[in-house]
Amino acid sequence: MRKYILAIDQGTTSSRAIIFDEHAQTVSFSQKDVNLHYPNNGWVEQDAHDIWKSVKHVCQKALEKASLKPTDISAIGIANQRETIVLWDKETGDIIKSVIVWQDRRTADYCRELKEQGLESTFQKKTGLLLDPYFSGTKLRWLLQNTPNAMAKAKKGELICGTIDTYLLWKMTGGTVHATDATNASRTLLYNIIKHEWDNELLDILEIPKEILPEIKDNSCLFGETTKDFLGASIPITGMAGDQQAAMIGQACFEVGMMKSTYGTGCFALINIGDKFKISKNKLLTTVAYQLNGKTTYAIEGSIFIAGAAIQWLRDGLKIIENASKTEEIAARISDNGGVYMVPAFTGLGAPYWDPNARGAIFGITRDTTTDHIIRAALEAQGYQTKDLISAMIEDSGQQINEIRVDGGMVENNWICQFLADITNNTVNRPQIIETTALGVAYLAGLHVGIYSSLRQISNNWQMSRSFKPDMIDSERAELYNGWKDAVKRVL
Ligand code: ADP
């Protein structure tokens, strides 16, 4: 009897594979880094073959470490970095130019032109998104327009495109299945999330031929079967979701008003708003949280581009810490931030500011400032950025937030979790499994093959590791947050 699920989490900086058993417990884990390339100012690219090789490698390793045979795996789930786009030749599999990563800003000018033409509301009311280079649509247009003959080939159906989920699915099925899921589609600027279809008007504006787009499916269904050369047996792929939506499933945020916030390279907070589409008035995004049995649940999302990346910069750029986990004791050994604020707008500011041209800054430096203050400012920034999002989310969703469920590599840091609770004045709950992305897509895959029975069972499975309660007086909270607001104003 097959009773294991293999979950793939193809992230921006690494690919991971985790095998879960029928009780959603981790059986084995494997991870491999993936390189990013920066060929021009603001450009971020990856090599599709590197991504594919890393995924194959971690899946094989996870299987080996668990001492399982491929026939023990009941189903595979794929979660992926979102918005990153690949265009390739349907016959040969050759990649057109490169993979353009979500962080890439090369289409900033074009997005501004579209905005100046008054088109932002056209996109927002159909896709829930704003006109920002972050999303896949303008990147795809760039690939088509900057490659000789690409447009003609695309129109003849010789090229196909997709986000990373689609590309992996196509590779795993030996080039036979070209499909995506509703959450990944909802990040392209091309998918009408109310009518559930690729939108002809938006495709016309961006000059993208419909022929190249994948079929859109539910998050839990039969996407295809792997070829035998992937792991040695044919295995069904039955779950797929963008990483943040997968994390929302892994965090069991199934009720309206439930919120999760993930702190990895970037930070992504999503709140469940139920089955009614709602446009944000505070420059947050409306997105598909999940689509099951043809029924869509929506979320409002706040995306912050730089979270853990600021800690990486302290380590690799400034070289003032040895490793990320050291920041916890450093922040705790000083009594306050000494008036120092860091606005980590390294690649512009995301929600709720959306200023692609903003750049990072550190304010409030005096003769007393030490590297400890700068390190603490980088950690505090995560709290302030989250508070910005939460205030906007409460306004947009009309929901009070009772609890923030956190995950991602950064939340191993207790100091950050406590500061988050203090500055947002909310309870912060950290679950036992912080690999919620992989867990979420394992649930999606397992739901379809009957290993997991229902969303209710998944909710019951959610287990807390630690809860952080707010412990800061209102006046201190207000003073700290005012300092942040002032710093952001100077950066914009
Ligand atoms: P991703 O999936 O986006 O690659 P992860 O969820 O693995 O990211 O989180 C890694 C990020 O978290 C890195 O940017 C790292 O700097 C940061 N990080 C990891 N551990 C800690 C820690 N103890 N304190 C602060 N930041 C941390």
Question: Residue 299 and residue 311: Cα distance in Å, rounded?
Answer: 28
Set out the domains of the chain in order of their start, with CATH numbers: 4-244 (3.30.420.40)
Any atom of ligand 1 within 6 Å of the Cβ of 265: yes
Distance from Cα 243 to the centre of ligand 1, integer Å: 15
Q: Which atom of ligand 1 is nearest to the CA of 13?
A: 4
Pairing of strands 403-407, 427-431: parallel
Minimum CA distance residue for ligand 1 atom 2: 264
What's the confidence (pLDDT) of residue 415? Answer: 97
For 223-234, what is the HEC assignment? EEECCHHHHCCC
**Contact residues for 241 (Cβ-Cβ < 8 A; gap 6+):** 77, 79, 165, 181, 183, 184, 219, 249, 290, 440, 441, 444
Cα–chain center distance at 238 = 20
What's the confidence (pLDDT) of residue 1? Answer: 61
Distance from Cα 321 to the centre of ligand 1, integer Å: 14
Question: Residue 240 and residue 443: Cα distance in Å, rounded?
Answer: 10
Distance from Cα 308 to the centre of ligand 1, integer Å: 5
Any atom of ligand 1 within 6 Å of the Cβ of 244: no
Q: What is the pLDDT along the chain (492 residues), one digit of tens a residue?
A: 668 999 999 999 899 999 999 999 999 999 999 999 999 988 999 999 999 999 999 999 999 999 999 999 999 999 999 999 999 999 999 999 999 999 898 999 999 999 999 999 999 999 999 999 989 999 999 999 999 999 999 999 999 999 999 999 999 999 999 999 999 999 999 999 999 999 999 999 999 999 999 999 999 999 999 999 999 999 999 999 999 999 999 999 999 999 999 998 889 999 999 999 999 988 899 999 999 999 999 999 998 889 999 999 999 999 999 999 999 999 999 999 999 999 999 888 888 888 878 889 999 999 999 999 999 999 999 999 999 999 898 888 887 888 999 999 899 999 999 999 999 999 999 999 888 999 999 999 999 999 998 999 999 999 999 999 999 999 999 999 999 999 999 999
Q: Which atom of ligand 1 is nearest to the CA of 328?
A: 24
Beta strands in 81-131 (DSSP E): 85-89, 99-100
What's the confidence (pLDDT) of residue 399? Answer: 78
349: DSSP letter: B
- Report which of 267, 409, 413, 264 is spatially closest to residue 332, judged by C-alpha positions: 413
Residue whose entry in the numeric block shows the structure tokens 């950025």: 385
- Report which of 117, 291, 129 is spatially closest to residue 219, judged by C-alpha positions: 291
Any atom of ligand 1 within 6 Å of the Cβ of 17: no
Torsion (CA) 356, 361, 363, 365 in degrees, nearest 10? 180
